[in-house]
Structure 1
């Protein structure tokens, strides 16, 4: 393993899932200016849009995508640009 390529500034950082307000603390080198207080201790805060507590793969709550409806909507939208068939003379 190469020496001197890994950061040495690991510290405890709070990661907050903004979709469900779940917070977890882990070591990280992520740079942030925001902080959060948890149980009387102040941690640097990194905000996430999605995490293991809100991602459908981990929660088992998958969203059903209406593929047929999307295809019909696309076809209707671009039907006006359809070229007329060529006629042979």
Structure 2
């Protein structure tokens, strides 16, 4: 192994904005993160669905222009319902 080519390793504490801290080893001397497993919605189970800019409405409008219909189920997942032309 060549000497003096490897970066220096530091024992650091990673700090999250929620207040949680983790100890790890890194080539950086400090690390601050905005979100961690203690505050991320995926890990906490507190999902928030944000519809910024009316994405669902824009999708419905665009899909309606194509001539198809879209049925939404109770789970929020939709299934396209388009008639296919089978001319042979």
TM-score by length of 2: 0.47
Higher relative contact order (CA 8 A, sep 6+): 1
TM-score by length of 1: 0.46
Bigger proportion of residues as helix: 1
